[in-house]
Structure 1
Amino acid sequence: MSQNCCFSAFYLPVSQRTPPKPCFLRVIGRDAAGESARFLSQVHTLADRNGVYLKDGVANPTEPEIRRFYDLVGERFVLSGALIRRHMTMWLGQLRPEQREALALALEQTLERLRSRGANDGVLRNAYIKFMCWFRGAFGHALTGLLRDVPPCILAEGELSKYDFYVLCLLHQAGCDVVYANPVSDASYRKQDPEGSCSILWQGELLTPEPRSAPPRPAQPRPAPVPPRPAPSPSRTVSSQPRPAQARPSPPPLGPAPWEGMGNTLCINRWADGQAVTEAVLLPASRRGKDGHMDTLFALCFGGDERSAYRTRLFRLRRALEQSPKRWKLLEGAAPPPTPAEVQRFQTVDKTLPGVHLIRAIAGALALNCGKVPQLLAQRAFTLAMESAAETNSVRLYNHGVRLACWMRRYLEPLFEGYDPEQLPALVCYGPVNEATVTLLWAVAHSGVDVLYFSPQKAGQTLFEASPLSHDWSEVVMEQDFPAEPFPQKEELLRASTTAYNAAREIDEMLHNDVGMFRTRSFPRSAAVTLRTTYDEVLQLWKEEAQFRPSFQTQGDTVHVPNLFAKINGVEGNVSDYWDTIRGLITPETHLITNVPFLVDPAPVMSIPKARAFFHNGRLDPVALKRSEQYRYGFLPDDTQNYMLEKMQTLIDCGLITDGGRDLPACVLSTLMGLSKDTLHTIQSFDFTRTIPKVVIVDVTDRVFSLAECILLGFFNLVGFDIAVFTPTGYRNVEAHLNPDAFQTLNAGEYRFDLTVPSLRGGRRGSGEWFSRLFGGN
């Protein structure tokens, strides 16, 4: 698409574009002829009338906004499409169902993208709340125009933060036209999208700020087949920086900071001279150096050698630190966000101060209950870290600064309590982190603390390599990657390898190193990815192994299993062909159900009152459950038991089951404590990369499924089973207690009534009855 063409296409209704979809344009620089300025002026008019104008990003949601969200939808969050759609319905009731669906799908995929880039559950939760508050606040007016032929228009100017970028992509995917303009540089955008693949670039030959006098806006509005909207209210322009009525006087020049006289107080790493960091961190100050400096460690360790040996070294480091006189703290993963109480200390800082003055003001409020030297080092480290960020937007600079200052107080105050210069404190960080936590580790290391970071995955190097901070840490990179397990609580059993074992392992690595080749049951966990398909695709994909289906993915120790859950209404063609189609789906291992209701033993192994005792605030207590007399699955391998209990909790959290009432958690546990041994064996033997267990239900009755039956199907769906419910009558069945988002309803043909189900298994009737206690069957 040419540059002029991308401007002209923007003015067309979606139905007249090629392809017919919303635009995401990136206007960088400007041209001498003024075409880009005229275009942006017109877009500004469109955003005022039918969208949102963002000047320097979107301000973070306020505490009352977040509290209102929690009060309405609750504080539970699990990354699942069903939960997102349920929250959308409660939070954004002003949108039409199809608008909420488009927005929910875009939000789910955006969060998955964040997770694929290393975001942990805490980061995903915060991003989710931020986006949801923005949907109702900053973008509330624009979203009511989603899926119209003339889409809402979002105009963003200035520097982009990570979440500014993601929300623009999200809104574009949901159905908005988006224009991002920066007359000076493409750097902040490229930081999030290095390939520039998420938008269409218009590049001007001039990369300079625009003149103060903007060109006049055109008198004619955007050509569109719909009448123009009423004049906008001022609230539709979202700016993270208020526009004062008169110029603010410049603050007085800054004098020297108290910490500027610290000189070269710190000596980081140079004294260690190649010593193992796990040993050097234990040395007192008197054995570190003789030059009068504060000699500290700042070391990064990526990957490992052998899992048991690696985890044993970590455990022994922990035990040695606990037995030493040093103060130390363990941080697993990214630092949790500051609490409102932590932030309150910095509320008096003037957010409108220019950059250097704002950093100095926050540093001045960073007062620690410790000695003078640690206090000044911490303030200096904070200042250096913030100045390296090169952030120009005052609101984002304030937010970043307060977050870092809160974290430094959180971790430094207990470490420096009763400060002893002979025993320098230590912070040990383990597992995946984010960019903000990298800054925290750097600032803590420059405050006079030993900092050791361990990443079992070598990919953790990327964040540190991209950091704008001085790279004065030492690095150790080992050969192997390990999954990010919790920090070891006990010593691992160590094993030595024979020559023959090592040779066999090398051959195994060669055989399974290529894409698409997986060892048998080599993954302990799965996450179901229920596919949305056509009726024909259900028939085509039914017998495909998981690894050959679309959306199959492995990530760490988890397989994303693309499974099917479809309710198929009506009969395609004549009845005889219909039965033959179903027969084609049935293998000897398929469980076939033709009698409804299909739970034949109503007496549960565990009653509802007894099941209630194993829940605390909606969370299952697996330790207490496993110790109880009602627990029947203790003979299974630990990973299978833990996997099943995890899926039970997910079923409770994700909103798949509707109309379950307050006793839903107890109902789920009561139902799923009665699985037969054959069912358990199927789950234990399920190789997530290969053949997927099948359930085929043919329902010619007028009876809806019971709560227990829907719980069972929801559980099998989360485990990864394929489920097909053939309903020639089109009557309700699974809808009774399953969220419509849990399965897909497909119409195959005309509704047929009063049918009798023939023999569908052909000589092997009953061979698939592996749910023997819970199910009747054919």
Structure 2
Amino acid sequence: MLEHKKIQNLSDYFVELNSRREKGVYFYRINGYSEEVGEFIKKYYDTARRTGVVIEGKIPNPDEGNLAYYNEIMGMDFQMSMDFIHVSLRKWLPRMNEFQRQNVAASIYDSLDSLRKAGKTENMLRNAYIKFMCWLYYKFERIVNQLGENHIPKILYEGQISNYELMLISILSNAGCDVVLLQYAGDQGYLKTDPGSVLSDSLQMEGLQPFPQGYCVKKVRDEIQNELNNERLYGIRPSLTNCTNAWIKGNGLDDIRESILLRGNDSRFFYNCFCRINGAEDKLTYANELFRLQQELRNSKRNTVIVSKEIPRPTPQEISEIKRSNYTSGDQMLLGLACNIQYGANPELQRILHKTFVDVMLAESQKEGEN
């Protein structure tokens, strides 16, 4: 069996077994939230979803059908012995290798032995054993053959864990599985089951706050899905990002006059200015100042567009030239409309226009009370 080890930081969870500082598994309870914890949960959830098990709410108790199938294959015999458990696992979960079977059998035996020492009867031990076996088959069968492998499987459990659930997940953890418990209501309930924190560790980090109202795995899943949808909407991202107004001195028209070459030298950005001027310092000279600015911009070979009062509304002909279709979702509509943004002479500018269009439309779609 593998020992529980301490993490130095949350990224340790994603290190393969043979590359860890100490060879072992991690089993932590998360009782508080921070931005770093939120990003970790998102990544851990995605990993557990693909190569592990995510439990939202309780693990369902075996139903009549589950028990009937177990009885048909295994019978209802029970012996409190390592050999019996080991032989039963070979028949019930044949995908496990010998090393995995030995670890799981030993861990099941230890858990049942702790129940026996706590005064549980033989019949209670048999019921617990059958429950563990059914849970292993119906809920965790996809990871039992990965236990103890270099790429360690993950379990994410959300909510208040029960005594028997904690026993089973500890069995899997000891056999070679990382575990994270998300406890939105804090640690008090857990400590009633494991007062000495023997089976798992509580995550201690600076800056942890209570989980946000309504936080849950479903919201994490939705956020990941939205990010995937957005990646599809954005396509190839531009290599340049706007740096708007961060470089200006607050001199209005003089900031606009500033040479592009003098605004900044970070190759990741293009430096632009968005300046709104309400009123004029001198009504008599204001028109001449604007005319002089226009001349200076033209003399410096900078393209200018002058809009007086409002941007003209599109003409029917312009509207008809926009390629459209029937859409079944907002994302599909954005993807279709964005295809109208074509500027083959400058692919980078086309990507910037595409990204800006999607940014604005997504922001508008999220405003409450608007379609």
TM-score of the superposed pair, with normalisation by structure 1: 0.27
* Deviation of 1:203 (Å): 3.9
CA contact under 8 A between 1:115 and 1:124: conserved in structure 2?
Answer: yes
Residue identity opposite 1:16 in structure 2: S
Give the equivalent residue in structure 2 for 1:94. Answer: 95
Residue identity opposite 1:23 in structure 2: Y
Inter-partner Cα distance in structure 2 for 1:6 and 1:190 = 23
CA contact under 8 A between 2:5 and 2:24: conserved in structure 1?
Answer: no
Matches of residues 679-690 of structure 1 in structure 2 within 5 Å?
none
Is residue 69 of structure 1 aligned with residue 61 of structure 2? no
Inter-partner Cα distance in structure 2 for 1:6 and 1:130 = 35
Inter-partner Cα distance in structure 2 for 1:122 and 1:29 = 39
CA contact under 8 A between 2:7 and 2:26: conserved in structure 1?
Answer: no
* Deviation of 1:29 (Å): 1.6
CA contact under 8 A between 2:95 and 2:144: conserved in structure 1?
Answer: no
Inter-partner Cα distance in structure 2 for 1:210 and 1:169 = 29
Residues 3 and 115 (structure 1 numbering): CA distance in 2 closer, same or farther, change over 3 Å? closer
- 1:649-699 CA deviation, whole Å, 9 max, x = no partner? xxxxxxxxxxxxxxxxxxxxxxxxxxxxxxxxxxxxxxxxxxxxxxxxxxx
Is residue 168 of structure 1 aligned with residue 169 of structure 2? yes
Tell me which of 2, 9, 12 is aligned to 2:12.
9
Give the equivalent residue in structure 2 for 1:120. Answer: 121
Inter-partner Cα distance in structure 2 for 1:102 and 1:59 = 24
Residues 115 and 43 (structure 1 numbering): CA distance in 2 closer, same or farther, change over 3 Å? same
Residue identity opposite 2:106 in structure 1: L
Inter-partner Cα distance in structure 2 for 1:202 and 1:166 = 20
* Deviation of 1:97 (Å): 2.0
SS of the equivalent of 1:132 reads helix
Residue identity opposite 1:14 in structure 2: L
Give the equivalent residue in structure 1 for 2:336. Answer: none
* Deviation of 1:148 (Å): 0.8
Give the equivalent residue in structure 2 for 1:179. Answer: 180
Is residue 46 of structure 1 aligned with residue 47 of structure 2? yes
Give the equivalent residue in structure 2 for 1:268. Answer: none
* Deviation of 1:6 (Å): 3.8
Inter-partner Cα distance in structure 2 for 1:188 and 1:134 = 23
SS of the equivalent of 1:46 reads helix
Residue identity opposite 2:72 in structure 1: D
TM-score of the superposed pair, with normalisation by structure 2: 0.55
SS of the equivalent of 2:89 reads helix
CA contact under 8 A between 2:53 and 2:156: conserved in structure 1?
Answer: yes
- When the two chains are superposed, the root-mean-square deviation of aligned CA atoms in Å is 2.4
CA contact under 8 A between 1:29 and 1:184: conserved in structure 2?
Answer: no
Residue identity opposite 1:143 in structure 2: V
* Deviation of 1:210 (Å): 4.5
Residue identity opposite 1:136 in structure 2: Y
Residues 170 and 158 (structure 1 numbering): CA distance in 2 closer, same or farther, change over 3 Å? same
SS of the equivalent of 2:203 reads strand
Is residue 18 of structure 1 aligned with residue 21 of structure 2? yes
Matches of residues 564-643 of structure 1 in structure 2 within 5 Å?
none
Residue identity opposite 1:110 in structure 2: S
| Structure 1 unaligned spans of 5+ | 221-778
Inter-partner Cα distance in structure 2 for 1:145 and 1:4 = 21
CA contact under 8 A between 1:111 and 1:124: conserved in structure 2?
Answer: yes
Inter-partner Cα distance in structure 1 for 2:21 and 2:6 = 15
CA contact under 8 A between 1:89 and 1:100: conserved in structure 2?
Answer: yes
Matches of residues 365-764 of structure 1 in structure 2 within 5 Å?
none
Give the equivalent residue in structure 1 for 2:132. Answer: 131
Inter-partner Cα distance in structure 2 for 1:171 and 1:2 = 15
Give the equivalent residue in structure 2 for 1:194. Answer: 195
| Structure 2 unaligned spans of 5+ | 229-371
Residue identity opposite 1:28 in structure 2: N
Inter-partner Cα distance in structure 2 for 1:96 and 1:75 = 24
Inter-partner Cα distance in structure 2 for 1:148 and 1:169 = 17
Greater relative CO (CA pairs within 8 A, separation 6+): 2
* Deviation of 1:104 (Å): 1.0
Residue identity opposite 1:156 in structure 2: Y
Give the equivalent residue in structure 1 for 2:367. Answer: none
**Structure holding more strand per residue:** 1
Residue identity opposite 1:43 in structure 2: Y
CA contact under 8 A between 2:5 and 2:26: conserved in structure 1?
Answer: no
Inter-partner Cα distance in structure 2 for 1:15 and 1:208 = 33
Is residue 207 of structure 1 aligned with residue 199 of structure 2? no
Give the equivalent residue in structure 2 for 1:158. Answer: 159
Residues 38 and 189 (structure 1 numbering): CA distance in 2 closer, same or farther, change over 3 Å? same
Inter-partner Cα distance in structure 1 for 2:169 and 2:20 = 20
Give the equivalent residue in structure 2 for 1:28. Answer: 31
CA contact under 8 A between 1:3 and 1:202: conserved in structure 2?
Answer: no
CA contact under 8 A between 1:85 and 1:100: conserved in structure 2?
Answer: yes
* Deviation of 1:2 (Å): 12
CA contact under 8 A between 2:6 and 2:26: conserved in structure 1?
Answer: no
CA contact under 8 A between 2:5 and 2:22: conserved in structure 1?
Answer: no
Inter-partner Cα distance in structure 1 for 2:62 and 2:130 = 9
CA contact under 8 A between 1:25 and 1:201: conserved in structure 2?
Answer: yes
- 1:314-363 CA deviation, whole Å, 9 max, x = no partner? xxxxxxxxxxxxxxxxxxxxxxxxxxxxxxxxxxxxxxxxxxxxxxxxxx
SS of the equivalent of 1:5 reads coil
* Deviation of 1:174 (Å): 1.0
CA contact under 8 A between 2:147 and 2:172: conserved in structure 1?
Answer: no
SS of the equivalent of 1:206 reads coil
Inter-partner Cα distance in structure 1 for 2:73 and 2:6 = 46
* Deviation of 1:207 (Å): 2.6
* Deviation of 1:4 (Å): 7.5
Residue identity opposite 2:25 in structure 1: P
Residues 4 and 92 (structure 1 numbering): CA distance in 2 closer, same or farther, change over 3 Å? closer
Inter-partner Cα distance in structure 1 for 2:90 and 2:16 = 28
* Deviation of 1:158 (Å): 0.6
Inter-partner Cα distance in structure 1 for 2:101 and 2:5 = 34
Matches of residues 278-293 of structure 1 in structure 2 within 5 Å?
none
SS of the equivalent of 2:87 reads helix
**Structure holding more helix per residue:** 2
- 1:383-439 CA deviation, whole Å, 9 max, x = no partner? xxxxxxxxxxxxxxxxxxxxxxxxxxxxxxxxxxxxxxxxxxxxxxxxxxxxxxxxx
Residue identity opposite 1:200 in structure 2: D
Give the equivalent residue in structure 2 for 1:677. Answer: none
CA contact under 8 A between 1:85 and 1:101: conserved in structure 2?
Answer: yes
CA contact under 8 A between 2:52 and 2:154: conserved in structure 1?
Answer: yes
Inter-partner Cα distance in structure 1 for 2:70 and 2:39 = 40
* Deviation of 1:211 (Å): 4.5
Inter-partner Cα distance in structure 2 for 1:177 and 1:139 = 13
Residues 217 and 2 (structure 1 numbering): CA distance in 2 closer, same or farther, change over 3 Å? farther
CA contact under 8 A between 1:60 and 1:130: conserved in structure 2?
Answer: yes
Inter-partner Cα distance in structure 1 for 2:64 and 2:189 = 27
